[in-house]
C-alpha cells in the first residue's frame, strides 16, 4: 500500500521503514512496516476495531523543533483524534539502531484512512503508518 511517488529522500524513507512503531497498549508491542502483526490482530479483535493509524505531530517535515512546540502540536493532534472519536493509545517511534531520537506518537484506532491522511497533512508530517484489517502496517508517504 506504500505510495511510491514521493519527493522524500530515499534515506529518509528507508529510516521510516526501519522504525520500531511501539504501541503502548496494556500489552505493549512493536509494529514494523510491511510485517504481519499478530499483536495488532489481537488488539483489533479485543477492542473490536478494523483500522488504526500511527501518527505524531512532532518535528513536521523532519525539521527538529523545540520540545515545547512539539508538545503543543501533539496536544492539538490528540484533540483532533478525540474529536474524530478515535480510541487513542500512546505510541513511540524509535530508531532500532539508536541513531536518532524517537518521537512520542499516537496509535489511533477507528480512524479512516482519509482522516489519517488529512491529519498527517495538517501536522505537516512526511508519512503516517496505516493499519487495516489485514494487520500489515503500511507506510503512507504524504510528500
Average of per-residue pLDDT across 71-89: 98
3-state secondary structure at position 127: strand
Average pLDDT in the chain: 95
Quick one: cell of 80? 483532533
Q: Which residue has the cell 484489517?
A: 133
Reference 35, options 135, 141, 142, 116; nearest CA is: 135
pLDDT at 133 over 80: yes
What is the Cα–Cα distance from 130 to 51, expressed in whole angstroms? 8
Q: Which three cell numbers stand for residue 89?
A: 493509545
pLDDT digits (tens, 9 = 90+) for 94-129: 999 888 888 999 999 999 999 999 999 999 999 999
45-69 pLDDT, tens digit each? 999 999 999 999 999 999 999 999 9
Amino acid at each position: 500500500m506504500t505510495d511510491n511517488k514521493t519527493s522524500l529522500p530515499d534515506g529518509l524513507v528507508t529510516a521510516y521503514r526501519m522504525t520500531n512503531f511501539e504501541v503502548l497498549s496494556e500489552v505493549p508491542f512493536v509494529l514494523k512496516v510491511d510485517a504481519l502483526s499478530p499483536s495488532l490482530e489481537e488488539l483489533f479483535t479485543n477492542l473490536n476495531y478494523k483500522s488504526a493509524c500511527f501518527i505524531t505531530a512532532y518535528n513536521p517535515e523532519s525539521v527538529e523543533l523545540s520540545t515545547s512546540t512539539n508538545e503543543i502540536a501533539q496536544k492539538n493532534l490528540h484533540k483532533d483524534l478525540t474529536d474524530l472519536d478515535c480510541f487513542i493509545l500512546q505510541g513511540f517511534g524509535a530508531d532500532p539502531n539508536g541513531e536518532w531520537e524517537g518521537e512520542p506518537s499516537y496509535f489511533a484506532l477507528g480512524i479512516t484512512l482519509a482522516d489519517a491522511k488529512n491529519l498527517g497533512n495538517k501536522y505537516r508530517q512526511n508519512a503516517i503508518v496505516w493499519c487495516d484489517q489485514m494487520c500489515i502496517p503500511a507506510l503512507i508517504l504524504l510528500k
